[in-house]
Structure 1
Amino acid sequence: MASIIDLSTRIATNTTLLNTYLTEHNLPFPSFDISAPIDLLPPSTTPPEILSARQQIINDTSALHNLLLGPREHIMSTYQPISMISPKAITQFRLVHSFPVGSETSFSALAAHAGISQKHLTKLIRHGIVAHNLFAEPKPGVIVHSAATKLLAENEGIHNWVEYATHEHWIASYHAVEAMRQYPGSGEPNNSGFSLANQTDKSMFGFYSTPGNEKRLERFAKVMRFITRRPELGPELAVDAFDWKGLPEGGKVVDVGGSHGLVSIELSKNFSQLEFVVQDLDESVVRGAESKMPEEVKDRVKFMVHDFFTEQPVKGADVYFLRAVLHNWSDEYAVRILRNLIPGLKRGSKIVVNDVVLADVGTYKDKSAELWARVSDLTQVVLQNSGDREIGDYIKLFEAADERLKYKEAKPMPGSTRLWIIVAEWEGTDS
């Protein structure tokens, strides 16, 4: 680990570089003031060396902070069980929508809006200000929006995400260790922290589909759509991720579990020689996506209701594409998904998996990248009793599905810090 002098020197060097860039380009400086931009440095318009300097500052300031705390203070300051209580209250009571951005309010007005005591409301808001930059108190008793609450008020996707994280994910995480103890070695999706938290014998997807949970399902669906629209997960990144041009004229791609078909629609716009079939279990999703299909690709992108735990009905396609599907399922279920594709495969058919890949320990470019990977992995455990995988794990899945399904390659998806492309090819006879 770098010394505190090394860290502070590097922080100073990179901060100077960043400061110079912001100054020369007349860009706003970091702030949580209401006028601050949502993103300090948009990746699409910022030089890579500046983005790298920013990330190094984040990594080094975190490392310096922890070193100067020391083990005892680090533990005592990090593990705060009440850290999520203020954002939970702020989103549950929709406090960011209770007064206009640019105006001010009072603790009493917020308490009346929430329907709780002013004493408790004051404690919640002041915790939110100090811990999360949620709201600001420029004068005692006067509350205004910060850049963070302005974003929550104006961006439904962000608000849904925070509400989901504090209402659903937080409680499920609490029960995850209990589920591991209660169901050791289980690969069943209903043996999860989520299932225990909700006192159900159903999986997360099964529970959300139960009558009475329509609002929770709608919120979850909105959160998933919001996440998939992040730049590093954008459907446009799939265009350069695989040799789609190498597929024959009239080649067929089956987008298994493809939801609204965003990737297939994007690919169809770029590869006019290909036809696409988007499959999803939820008929309402399929019909909704069909109704919003861009006119220019309607004849080449078709939708189909299909359960990927049943035999694949589309035979002889060139590619069966699974984006963010397998990480939702334990090995037992992932193998079943792959085996159900086999009846549709012809010799040379490829299974293209577009999913998270865990790197070997010690090979991540920085600690923040590894932390994201570990958080992503545990998220799947908490919600579905599943998890992300290393390359070797994917190879084992292909081998377990059928020895004629041969692993070919794996590579990071260009432009994404999250997803990879993993390819297997069917070397058996036509099914």
Structure 2
Amino acid sequence: MNKETSTLRSLANIIIRAVDSMERAYAHAALPLPSLDKPFNPEDPAEALAQNPQVVAASKNLVAACAQMSATVWNPRRTMLNNALAYQISSCLHAVSDFNVVEVLREAGENGLSVKDIGAAVGVDPGLIERILRLLATHHIFREVSPGVFANNRISSTLDKGKPSNVLFANRETRFAGSSGIAAFVEVLAEMGGKSANYLAESLRTPGLLPFNLAYNTTEPMFEWMERPESIYHVNRFAVAMEGTAAMEQEDAIFRGFDWGALPCESVIVDVGGGSGHVSLTIVKKYPHLRVVNQDFSSPIETSRVHWKENFPEHLDRQMVEFQVHDFFNPQPVKNAAVFLLRHIMHDWPDDQAVLILKNLREAAQQETQLVVIEKVVPFASAGTPADLKMAQIRGAKEPVAETPLLPNWGAAVADIYLYDLTMHALLGGIERTSQGFYELFTKAGWKLVEIHQTPGTQLSHIVGVPA
């Protein structure tokens, strides 16, 4: 038996074991595996089971092995061209979300709707909408019920904004309000991220300008560009999109790493750049003995006041939460923090600016203050350990490694980490960091990296530091 045949058989065995594991988990719970052909229902117990760490681990092996097997056996030239054309998928996702196709199909029901009726409902040429939907259905997004008739499936329905289609068409500016944020997130990634990413090569030849600058013909950083009056739609969509990042995680994922319950009574959590404060709100709902200071710019802070009043008014009534307008590039005003919490903040910034943010926190920290950074930690695509032996002394820093012959990082099953990384670069000059990258960042800012909680069932890690 030659090596490649042996590799295929090994991959097939991984697939079989992963399927067995998933089937056992669903059989034990007396639940069916969620159907690809049915709309996604976050309240379905079967969907909750899909987030169980055991099922996630099996799914991860399954996805990695299937993708590696496909890459091994398929024509490499066709594989290369398919990857080069993959931008068409994101552009079609943006189009169907922008024109509320998912909501129109939701109203049509499981039997679907003809492209003629879809086109009439959304104001798009039926022939073109058919081509868009067929491309997506070929990638298991939507399903073609019969020739020229399409319906939602488990994947497409995640774009549902939860409103009647006529309401969405009547007021495009507010169509994301009250949604899960997934559609807004997809549109930001597909439109702004996609348009910017097309300028990656050109930006490498243009020092000082990011792909975003070239795509939008501006020298302003993205966040400054979004402050323009004409960018208000982008601002509102972006705000909801950031809430959508939380919808990607189970609510209890925040409790699978750092031990918030161990903090003493009335300890202060400073939610730095916290937006609506939905993460710190989740924490103190479980541990109401903790105080929160939510910090951000004025517009997100006003949104935060409303969010807390609607979702946890008791904490406001007890004066256990404070809303503070603050720019984290300025000195930190809170001097009694037990924890500085930064979720999805560091990846927005290159190292020099990220160090400045952390230095401001370090200068305000007490000796017992802890820094909790919640981010993705980028795994290496090769086996082995970083050259810096100091990393070996940090609890949780050792990366899990997939079984052979899978790529050590699980390949396609974690590909979104690397996609996010280059999207952050294209838009902001930001970076998703390796564990070594966080170690160096903390050290430059006066913090000591002491532990990395690689939280089960989620890609986000809790990276913990203390004053050096």
Tell me the TM-score normalized by structure 2.
0.78
Match of 1:67 in 2: 72
1:353 maps onto 2:373 in alignment: yes
- Give the letter for the 2:206 counterpart: Q
**Residue 295 to residue 204, structure 1, CA distance change in 2 (3 Å):** same
Q: C-alpha separation between the residues in 1 aligned to 2:131 and 2:266?
A: 63
Displacement of 1:272 in angstroms is 4.6
- What is the identity percentage for the equivalent residue pairs of Structure 1 and Structure 2? 25
Q: C-alpha separation between the residues in 1 aligned to 2:460 and 2:200?
A: 25
1:412 maps onto 2:432 in alignment: no
Q: C-alpha separation between the residues in 1 aligned to 2:128 and 2:376?
A: 41
- Give the letter for the 1:207 counterpart: W
- Give the letter for the 1:226 counterpart: G
Match of 1:77 in 2: 82
Alignment partner of 1:253: what SS?
strand
Match of 1:422 in 2: 463
Alignment partner of 2:293: what SS?
strand
Bigger Cα displacement from structure 2, 60-69 vs 416-425: 416-425
Q: C-alpha separation between the residues in 1 aligned to 2:156 and 2:273?
A: 35
| Match of residue 226, structure 2, among 183, 186, 208 | 208
| Match of residue 118, structure 2, among 110, 123, 140 | 110
Alpha-carbon displacement from aligned partner over 1:370-409 (angstroms, at most 9, x marks no partner): 42332222121122111012233223223333xxx24141
Q: C-alpha separation between the residues in 1 aligned to 2:451 and 2:246?
A: 21
| Match of residue 142, structure 1, among 142, 149, 159 | 149
Q: Is the 8 A contact 1:137 1:144 kept in 2?
A: yes
Alpha-carbon displacement from aligned partner over 1:94-144 (angstroms, at most 9, x marks no partner): 223335231543333333344443433332232232234324141x34344
1:178 maps onto 2:186 in alignment: no
Match of 2:108 in 1: 101
Give matches, 1:116-155, under 5 Å: 116-138=124-146, 140-153=147-160, 155=162
Displacement of 1:354 in angstroms is 2.2
- Give the letter for the 2:94 counterpart: K
Ranges in structure 1 where 5+ consecutive residues have no aligned partner: none
Q: C-alpha separation between the residues in 2 aligned to 1:124 and 1:246?
A: 52
Match of 2:422 in 1: 378
| Match of residue 19, structure 2, among 15, 21, 27 | 15
- Give the letter for the 1:229 counterpart: A
Displacement of 1:41 in angstroms is 5.1
Q: C-alpha separation between the residues in 2 aligned to 1:252 and 1:125?
A: 50
Q: Is the 8 A contact 2:60 2:413 kept in 1?
A: no
Q: C-alpha separation between the residues in 2 aligned to 1:29 and 1:267?
A: 31
Match of 1:56 in 2: 61
Q: Is the 8 A contact 1:101 1:145 kept in 2?
A: no
| Match of residue 300, structure 2, among 268, 273, 285 | 285
Bigger Cα displacement from structure 2, 209-218 vs 413-422: 413-422
Number of residue-to-residue matches in the alignment: 414
| Match of residue 297, structure 1, among 309, 312, 315 | 315
Match of 2:392 in 1: none
Q: C-alpha separation between the residues in 1 aligned to 2:444 and 2:420?
A: 25
Match of 1:256 in 2: 272
Higher relative contact order (CA 8 A, sep 6+): 2
Alignment partner of 2:342: what SS?
strand
- Give the letter for the 1:87 counterpart: L
Q: Is the 8 A contact 2:101 2:122 kept in 1?
A: yes
- Give the letter for the 1:350 counterpart: Q
Alpha-carbon displacement from aligned partner over 1:191-214 (angstroms, at most 9, x marks no partner): 322222111222222222210111
Match of 1:388 in 2: 432
Q: C-alpha separation between the residues in 1 aligned to 2:214 and 2:352?
A: 21
Bigger Cα displacement from structure 2, 156-165 vs 219-228: 156-165
Q: C-alpha separation between the residues in 2 aligned to 1:44 and 1:24?
A: 11
**Residue 181 to residue 149, structure 1, CA distance change in 2 (3 Å):** same
Q: C-alpha separation between the residues in 1 aligned to 2:25 and 2:458?
A: 24
1:269 maps onto 2:285 in alignment: yes
Match of 1:398 in 2: 442
**Residue 212 to residue 116, structure 1, CA distance change in 2 (3 Å):** same
Match of 1:168 in 2: 192
Ranges in structure 2 where 5+ consecutive residues have no aligned partner: 163-178, 384-398, 403-409
